[in-house]
Structure 1
Amino acid sequence: MTAPEPERGDRPGVLPVGGLRSIVIVGPTASGKTALAIEVAEILGDAEIVSVDSMQVYRRMDIGTGKATPGEQSRVPHHLLDLVEPSVEFSAGWFRDEARAVLDDLAARGRRAILVGGTGLYHRVVVDDLSLPGDYDEIRSALEAELAAGLPPEVLHRRLAEADPVAAARIEPANGRRIVRALEVTTGSGRLFSSFGPGLHEYPSSGHLMVGLRVDRDDMGPRVAARVAAMMAMGFLDEVRSLLDEPAGLSRTARQALGYRQLLAHLDGSVTLDEAVCDTIGRTRQFAVRQERWFRRDPRIEWVDAPERGGRAASETRSLARSIAGRLEAT
């Protein structure tokens, strides 16, 4: 099942430009974005959190996506969590449509938005209302059927390299989902998939405070390992096991989510649990590096050191939150 495609680019930006300034908090996984956003919202008193995460939109995919816990959600209103069933193929275009409704509602109620999450493209479509290609269900289904029949994604990647070398150079040969999307758009639209990208390299003034959490590269590995260990202790394996009972099955996007893909492989007997956990840690670390590279391209983001892990995390998070809130209240 695929989400419907929204209208495109009918206003210069999704974030309300009148009234209260919004806050955008970005950074790699395990950098403390959620905790910081909650602290800022509580200090301000007039803010609500808008999740900007491509996997937190799925219901019952909680632990592995780092979704705010019920206790955290009770402290501050959260939006754009649990939007669809795991069987649905969700898109950035649909997310923008959902975000538009939420942000318009917050503005109408005089509430401030704190956008927080690590999905770079989703941030851009919300902040800058980027033009996006449409969906071509029949083409995508045919390509996905080839993969399901055992065709290696590398074969489709070579096909993409012939049609759109620029897009192929940006996508890993093993990333079947992104390769399918690029071929789908190139074939269905008559335009190269890479031709939709120029807007990604333009960064118009947003008028809002954009903060990036910087994590030292040497600290990234330990942070990710600690995060994965905590998820396993919270029952991540049981969460993945329960998803196998979904009556409509899992969408390709949900199956490819970090950690879920690895634990599904363990549950079908392909790998041991230790192998699945180690692979999750390694791939999450690589993903965190790619996240930071994406956000580093945006000159509007002001970078600050992420709060330390361990005993000092809470106090450093509160201190940083007070600094961010103070800047907003001064404007």
Structure 2
Amino acid sequence: MHKYPSAIFLMGPTASGKTDLAIRLATQENCEIISVDSALIYKGMDIGTAKPTLAERKLAPHALVDILDPLQAYSVGNFREDALALMASICARGKTPLLVGGTMLYYKSLIDGLSPLPQACADTRAQIESEAAQLGWQVMHDKLAQIDPVAALRIHVNDPQRLSRALEVYRISGKSMTDLTQIKSEPIPFNVRQFAIAPQEKTTLHQRIEQRFINMLETGFEDEVRKLKARKDLHLDLPAMRCVGYRQMWQYLEGEIDHDEMQFRGIVATRQLAKRQMTWLRGWKTELTWLESEDPCNFDKIMKSST
């Protein structure tokens, strides 16, 4: 690996302090930031995603921020392609790519590569949903068990989205999802130093999440979602609108829940996201250095790793 250029991964759950540390690295060292966050890609979604401010991005530009309209989709494959191109460009300028964010699947796509799964097909998906409406999802699950028993064990009958996708993959490619996921693309040609930052105590992270959500509400999150909702072409089934906080605020604006319930659900959803992120990180299979959110020596620890 010594022959490859260096790159830094700075991972961690939401509200763990990644942005502040990344900006310091970008401004004081020879780094350029690439965002690894499936919510920050969307324009007009600034407050609810805790997007770095314009002042912060002027100080330390973030690639892959504000690149899509919320109506558009962005796959893991899109991210991998974009990130690799950016990393190569940054290295060509003699700088170090600094990848920062909490979308763990994006990081995994870089480390492990991607399986050659087919693109989603609306016609095939519609056919599967029509069959399910007639026969029931239990029958569809039985069909999956015949063609991909491993996936059928993993996917619950009450999970129609994943069940439909597994059937779709087989109908498009003629191969099971289990077989295709065993095929991986080449690992990235970089010597990656991987760090994860998080508070030592779970209660501390929960407090930070709650306070940040309250701050979002105080700085105009409701108005931000009102503007998105007023467009009429956006709806809750879009990936952008499934971002934590946005669904709960949307439901409040629809009159489905009151303000206190919206705040409660938004905080709970964010904590659940952080829990999933921590689960990913605790099971990380490659070498990972942990940093404590409140440790003032985090910057020095990262810099020391490069010597």
Q: What TM-score bracket applies, with the shorter chain setting the length?
A: 0.7 to 0.9
| 2:73 equivalent in structure 1 | 89
SS at match of 2:244: coil
Superposed CA offset, 1:248-277 (max 9, x none)? 435621121111111111111111121111
CA distance in 2, matches of 1:255, 1:63: 14
Aligned mate of 1:253, from 236, 239, 245: 239
What is the identity percentage for the equivalent residue pairs of Structure 1 and Structure 2? 33
Amino acid at match of 2:303: A
| 2:268 equivalent in structure 1 | 282
SS at match of 2:284: coil
CA contact (8 A) 1:203 1:299 kept: no
| 1:220 equivalent in structure 2 | 205
Point out the more displaced range, 118-127 or 295-304.
Answer: 295-304
| 1:320 equivalent in structure 2 | 298
CA distance in 2, matches of 1:86, 1:69: 19
Amino acid at match of 2:300: R
Number of aligned residue pairs: give it.
Answer: 297
Please state how far the C-alpha of 1:119 moved relative to its aligned partner. 0.8
Aligned mate of 1:71, from 52, 55, 72: 55
Point out the more displaced range, 157-166 or 229-238.
Answer: 157-166
- Cα distance, 1:22–1:192 mapped onto 2, change above 3 Å: same
Please state how far the C-alpha of 1:23 moved relative to its aligned partner. 0.5
CA contact (8 A) 1:106 1:112 kept: yes
Highest CA radius of gyration, 1 or 2?
Answer: 2
CA distance in 1, matches of 2:223, 2:142: 39
Which consecutive unaligned segments of at least 5 residues does structure 1 have? 1-14, 309-315
Superposed CA offset, 1:159-204 (max 9, x none)? 457525654665688876655544433443333334444479x999
Please state how far the C-alpha of 1:118 moved relative to its aligned partner. 0.8
SS at match of 2:89: helix
CA distance in 2, matches of 1:16, 1:134: 35
| 1:209 equivalent in structure 2 | 193
CA distance in 1, matches of 2:124, 2:213: 32
TM-score normalised to structure 2 length: 0.83
- Answer yes or no: is 1:272 the counterpart of 2:258: yes
- Cα distance, 1:236–1:107 mapped onto 2, change above 3 Å: same
Point out the more displaced range, 243-252 or 24-33.
Answer: 243-252
Point out the more displaced range, 47-56 or 185-194.
Answer: 185-194
Which consecutive unaligned segments of at least 5 residues does structure 2 have? none
